[in-house]
Structure 1
């Protein structure tokens, strides 16, 4: 089901519309979305050398994305880093290497993270491509997150291309408010259209 969105919506209203739409998505449709997103990992928007690092995430609930994306990246010879939420107030994300679904465990807020001690936040600087979750994105490069600011803090000093992963209906022409602390993305990935360059 598509999210009912309008350009005049506030961030909180847009978040609620997207989350409601995702919650109503059938398991069959979500599985299809995730399979299509995984297929796009064979057609990345930038050239990356074998063995290079790609940062990604573990989808939660009805969030688009799945471990199939991670497995394809590993099968292609990349090292995949996943975020680890640090204790305390929102701060830069820590990281851990993906070593298969069985090496993930539920930690803070029930999010699945790699087992073992985390890598320091600066580990992300070695990534050549970064896939990030989003509740929405638009053609200016604006990304709608969940509001805590973990990714904005993490991406503020990153040079690698950043890709927001959203459902087709969550990729908007415009209308996502941005503050001075919001970090824009370079690409948007949707199941139906693949990678689209934004902000250009």
Structure 2
């Protein structure tokens, strides 16, 4: 199964990188636009955990800004030092608060809130290479998100390009399923 997942990741990464910049930008704008029609509550007293896209991942800080415009608190991950473990979290206060962190990822420069800060989130947007119709998510492979999401009751949304919502993916027992997919053209889709 590991080699199958590795092969899929490589294929999907190649497809993402091959997407024209204009198509990726349009997709990012569309994703941000879907925030106003989310099928769950996004108001002033809600905490949302999200991510800052890396490379050709779908999304943009515009999605995070759209969430802030709804009045919610947004936290994004900061990768802790050492071996893969649960992600640390930092409050997102706009694109100007981002700096390069571990592996060149953009992370907020503010105070780290700890790995348990995600427990306050009722909605969590996660990156994925693909997600299947039963909620299996294919991530980058280090297991940070599986370690982070285990046992949470939040609405978990995998953000993918439309062609990355697929019929089925290989899954291991420790893989945490997601309940929703968010795609640029299809918006929020319930899985399962």
Q: TM-score, normalised by structure 2?
A: 0.97
Determine the C-alpha separation between the residues in 2 that align with 1:157 and 1:81.
19
Q: Does 1:23 align with 2:17?
A: yes
Q: Does 1:195 align with 2:192?
A: no
Q: Secondary structure at the match of 2:122?
A: strand
Alignment match, 2:175: 182
Determine the C-alpha separation between the residues in 2 that align with 1:28 and 1:48.
29
Alignment match, 1:33: 27
1:63-105, CA deviations, whole angstroms, 9 ceiling, x for partnerless residues?
Answer: 1000000001001101000001010000000000001111101
Displacement after TM superposition at 1:61 (Å):
1.3
Determine the C-alpha separation between the residues in 2 that align with 1:182 and 1:91.
14
Q: Does 1:88 align with 2:82?
A: yes
Alignment match, 1:5: none
Q: Which runs of 5+ in 2 are unaligned?
A: none
Q: Is the 8 A contact 2:130 2:160 kept in 1?
A: yes
Pick from 45, 51, 58 the counterpart of residue 51 of structure 1.
45
Q: TM-score, normalised by structure 1?
A: 0.93
Determine the C-alpha separation between the residues in 2 that align with 1:10 and 1:192.
28
Output aligned runs, 1:96-135, within 5 Å.
96-135=90-129
Q: Is the 8 A contact 1:55 1:130 kept in 2?
A: yes
Displacement after TM superposition at 1:50 (Å):
1.9
Q: Which runs of 5+ in 1 are unaligned?
A: 1-8
Q: Does 1:76 align with 2:70?
A: yes
- The count of residues paired between Structure 1 and Structure 2 equals 190
Displacement after TM superposition at 1:47 (Å):
2.0
1:146-200, CA deviations, whole angstroms, 9 ceiling, x for partnerless residues?
Answer: 10000000000211010000001110012x111111000000011110011111x
Displacement after TM superposition at 1:49 (Å):
3.5
